[in-house]
Structure 1
Amino acid sequence: MSRDFELAELKLIADVISSSKFLTYNQSAELLHKIENLCCDCDAMQLRRNVFVTGRSKQPNKGVLYNVDTIQRAIAGENGKFKISFKYFEYDMNRRKKYRDKARICTPYALVWDRDHYYLVAWNDHRECYSNFRVDRMESVRITAEPARPLDRDFDLTQYVMTHISMFSGDEVEVKIRCDQSIVNAVLDRFGMDVRMIPDKDGEHFTLYASVVAEAPFYAWLFQFGGKAVVQSPEWVRQEYIDMLRDVMENA
């Protein structure tokens, strides 16, 4: 009997579901049960033995799936493209939700999966710029009657995602970084295969040229390599990183 999925393919899907942070424990279990129904009893038993739902850092907001659905419908715009409204929150020290001002009004352009989280890339009416929002921190997502703002013709979503480490919003700047050859794979993982890298004559280093948002996530990414990644320019980025390192040492 022919089937749409091989067992290995279903296992891959099941692994993604079980490890997804944006799904609650119950949502993961329910989806895995549906995956089992796509294969025969024998394969379902094998799938069940090899997949488990981890409770590690699971999403407490069960409305995330519905948020994603609403956002996708707004982006697709089958009945016309419109802006969305939503409430945005962060957690305080007591794990209570702290809402940001009033409801946000944005034009949604894309949903991006980055480091175990869903992000919305949108035009922020309040700030009049492109902004990123964690979907699991959005509530009361609604499609409004206000027409969406057209996407700028020169806006490159792929480039935008590659340069906004951890989806931090901000202005891009091109940096020049001298790197040890041992971190080349980490560089390619972060910036993609088309990033500009110039090998040094010593055969042990290369110079990386990349556009980044010079904010905390970029410096955190840089820090993991220690002296194997040295910012050469621009000078203000280099100095900002040095100041950050000095602050860490003084307060350690």
Structure 2
Amino acid sequence: MPRSTNQKMKLLCLCRILWERTDEDHPMTVPELIRALEEWDIKAERKSIYDDMEALRVFGLDVQNRKGKDPGWFLGERSFQLAELKLLVDAVQSSRFISQRKSNDLIGKLESLASVYQARQLQRQVYVDRRAKTMNESVYYTIDKLHTAIASHRSVSFKYFEYNVKKERVFRREGKRYDVSPAGLIWNNENYYLAGYDHRYKEMRHYRVDKMAELAVTCLPLEGVSSDFDIASYAQKHFGMFSGREGQVTLRCKNNLVGVVLDRFGREVILVPDGEEYFTVTIRAVVSPQFLGWVFGLGDGVEIKGPDWAANMMKVQLETVARQYQKKEPVMPPPEG
């Protein structure tokens, strides 16, 4: 039979057909494969299909042939199983630091790793309703640049901004650039943070990656970042990545909060029994409004025992919030019935 100019692409086209159109639940028979090849103007005979399938198997593809009920050829094992792709799609879809447009792009690429039938299942995965997405489209590439800087031991320079009520960017330091020696990236409270040594303030600080603009990797080497800097310890003691006064804080907790304490501070912390119903734990923490809010959220189950300055910060915080609500007229409950 006459050979078309596409005939040399026969194996490649077969590979693509198997990848996109088959899986364990959707095999293709030899006649179906032959018709699919004809879409590329490629002629094939039944015997040649068997030879091609063997060549693809030797090459390393998990090409399988099922006989009996619902027979046909299909691609079995893939780089990612469907369950793994579902997890990745859920993570991308629910991630706040990835913009909606970039999320759609990434999910489309993940779908290409499965058959068209499996991709439909990925499209119906969990959607986090009204999940706030970052408005900074460049964050995806900013993270890549930061990884490059960390790997090459180079400082970075960037502008840092907040949003005003009009959702407009307002740059800090009147638009002057920040010069930072990066120590590592932290994933906290669904946001990426860069922890590093700020050259201006001469101390370790952290910055939200999605609030960076015009980031550049400089030719300057790192400074102020010790070789034994523990990025995990830094992240653990900064509640919600808020700044404040750091110190050893002792908490007195009810026994039913053991799980809460271990989840927050790790299983390495030492729990000291304090009577029959309580225990104490001493942790290193940055006492910020976020930390005090965490303590308050546990009600009378947790008490800050020391140091005095930390307990006093909690007292002042409570009094300040109480005064704010005391200014308002009490709301009468609605009449019964």
> The TM-score by the shorter chain falls in which range?
over 0.9
Picking from 224, 235, 241, the partner of 2:308 is 235
Residue correspondence of structure 1 range 1-252 to structure 2 within 5 A = 1-52=76-127, 54-77=129-152, 81-101=153-173, 102-149=176-223, 151-202=225-276, 204-252=277-325
Name structure 2 gaps, 5 residues minimum: 1-75, 326-337
| TM-score, with length taken from structure 1 | 0.93
One-letter code aligned to 1:157:
I
Change (3 A) 1:198 1:63: same
More strand as a share of residues:
1
Cα-to-partner distance string for 1:22-66 (whole Å, 9 max, x where unaligned): 111111111111111111223222222224465421111101011
Q: Deviation above 6 Å: which 4+ runs of structure 1?
A: none
The CA distance in 2 between the partners of 1:184 and 1:207, in whole Å, is 10
How many residues of Structure 1 are paired with residues of Structure 2 in the alignment? Answer: 248
Q: Which amino acid aligns with 1:94?
A: K
| Per-residue Cα deviation, 1:136-178 (whole angstroms, up to 9, x for no partner) | 1000000112222263144222211111111234552011111
d(CA) in 1 for partners of 2:146, 2:294: 30
- Over the residues paired in the alignment, what is the CA RMSD in angstroms? 1.6
Q: Distance in 1 between matches of 2:80 and 2:151?
A: 27
Which of the pair has more CA radius of gyration?
2
With over 3 angstroms needed to count, the CA separation of the structure-2 counterparts of 1:94 and 1:41, relative to structure 1, is closer
Return the letter of the residue paired with 1:151.
Answer: V
SS in 2 for 1:70: helix
Greater Cα offset, 166-175 or 210-219: 166-175
Q: Is the 8 A contact 2:197 2:224 kept in 1?
A: no
Contact 2:89-2:125 within 8 A present in 1 as well: no
TM-score normalized by the length of structure 2: 0.70
Percentage of matched positions with identical amino acids: 35
Report the 3-state secondary structure (helix = DSSP H, G, I; strand = E; otherwise coil) of the residue aligned with 1:109.
strand
C-alpha distance in structure 1 between counterparts of 2:297 and 2:128, whole Å:
30
* SS state at 2:207 partner: strand
2: CA distance, partners of 1:89 / 1:50: 34
Corresponding residue SS for 2:85: helix
